[in-house]
Amino acid sequence: MTPQMYGRVPVKDGLAAERTVLAAERTFLAYMRSAFAIFITGMTGSQLLTNTVLVGTSYVLAALSLLVFAVGVWRFVRSRRVTMAMLERLVSSGG
């Protein structure tokens, strides 16, 4: 929420928007944490395992972590757009 919007949005709605943004940030950080854990698991498995199938699975996990990260970024950006559009409508309607 931009500082210019604070003066034109009712306090209750502004706080609700801030909570929504903070929830989206927490969710994004959870996606990052999960992607990192999957990546580390894959890389550790590829270094420690000797079975070819398991090493291949480890590399698949490492690649999957990129997908998890991309989904997290996509959801965060989408959530920010929706929240900002909602605030813009609220500001333009006069509260």
Range of the domain at 39: 3-92
- pTM across the whole model: 0.79
> Tokens representing 21?
């943004």
Residue 39: partners with Cβ closer than 8 Å, 6 or more residues away: 61, 62, 65, 66
Number of independent structural domains in the chain:
1
pLDDT tens per residue across all 95 residues of the chain: 566 666 677 778 778 888 888 999 999 999 999 999 999 999 998 888 888 888 899 999 999 999 999 999 999 999 999 988 888 887 787 65
Residue 76: partners with Cβ closer than 8 Å, 6 or more residues away: 24, 25, 27, 28, 31
